[in-house]
């Protein structure tokens, strides 16, 4: 099974550019998790008879959002956090924005696993959403995937908005403490690893130079001055079933590139 993830940074834009159609033609994923769709379903014209398409759009139009395309009919689709977790955490942050209503999580239950596509809140350049990340979002999402894992293994993917280790960004020293590379955000990611989830890309590829996002400034993508902030993580019970984990920096259309795993499941 081929499973892909892509922060498309505006699904309507990549459709209008023809990039989304090229993506499906080239990669033909069985399951695709999208992040930062920035659209309501009625705003998107897609004729994809092969796929079941599901949306979790933000209440604020043109912002955030996730989507799922699947050749396999899921048993069940869930949006956002379940009620028990939502009640445990206060998702309003210092800007009085409710991250629980920003369309950031979409979950599909299949016969032998759960699949989650997630768009983690950005801490912002002034770190104004870092308290949200540290105290609310990261702990809540960890609680959620551990809750799912009690029933069956979990595959989750998406833009986690953090470079975990120094080899996950081109210039770790100069970016120390900046959003996406704070101690708090990196600890939030490490909590997934400590809970037994596997960073699939690192099963196959070590070292630096492998990135999934590049700023538009200073020709960063052509120079490969980037960050690896998009991931596939899986329950440890699935580790031996992962046949490959790849990054596709040559595929354009967004400031993020697609990533994938192939899994025997």
- Percentage helix, strand, coil for the chain under 3-state DSSP, each rounded to 5: 30, 25, 45
Q: Which residues contact 226 (CB under 8 A, 6 or more apart)?
A: 169, 170, 211, 212, 213, 214, 220, 249
Q: How many CB atoms lie within 10 A of CB 244?
A: 14
Q: What is the chain's length?
A: 265
Phi first, then psi: give them for residue 166, nearest 5 degrees: -55, -35
Q: Which residues contact 129 (CB under 8 A, 6 or more apart)?
A: 93, 94, 95, 121, 122, 123
Q: Which residues contact 81 (CB under 8 A, 6 or more apart)?
A: 89, 100, 105, 140, 144
**Catalytic residues, which ones?**
119, 159
Find, among 55, 150, 136, the residue nearest to 98 by Cα.
Answer: 136
CA distance 162 to 92: 21
Strand-pairing partners, residue 77, are 108
CA distance 215 to 171: 13
């Amino acid at each position: 099974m081929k499973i892909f993830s892509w922060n498309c940074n505006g699904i309507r834009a990549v459709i209008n550019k023809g990039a989304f159609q090229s993506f499906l033609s080239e990669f033909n994923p069985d399951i695709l998790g999208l992040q930062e769709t920035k659209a309501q379903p009625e705003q998107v014209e897609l004729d994809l008879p092969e796929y079941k398409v599901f949306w979790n759009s933000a209440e604020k139009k043109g912002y955030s959002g996730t989507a799922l395309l699947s050749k396999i009919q899921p048993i069940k689709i869930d949006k956002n956090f379940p009620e028990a977790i939502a009640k445990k955490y206060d998702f309003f942050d210092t800007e009085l924005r409710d991250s629980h209503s920003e369309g950031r999580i979409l979950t599909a239950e299949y016969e032998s696993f759960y699949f989650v596509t997630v768009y983690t809140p950005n801490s912002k350049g002034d770190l104004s959403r870092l308290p949200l990340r540290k105290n609310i979002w990261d702990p809540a999402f960890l609680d959620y995937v551990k809750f799912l894992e009690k029933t069956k293994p979990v595959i989750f993917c998406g833009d986690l908005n953090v470079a975990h280790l120094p080899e996950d960004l081109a210039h770790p020293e100069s970016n120390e403490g900046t959003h996406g590379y704070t101690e708090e955000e990196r600890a939030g990611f490490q909590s997934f690893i400590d809970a037994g989830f596997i960073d699939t890309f690192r099963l196959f590829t070590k070292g630096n130079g492998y990135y999934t996002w590049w700023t538009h400034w200073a020709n960063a993508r052509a120079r490969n001055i980037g960050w690896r902030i998009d991931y596939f993580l899986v329950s440890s019970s699935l580790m031996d079933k992962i046949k490959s984990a790849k990054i596709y920096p040559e595929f354009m259309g967004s400031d993020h590139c697609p990533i994938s795993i192939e899994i025997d499941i």
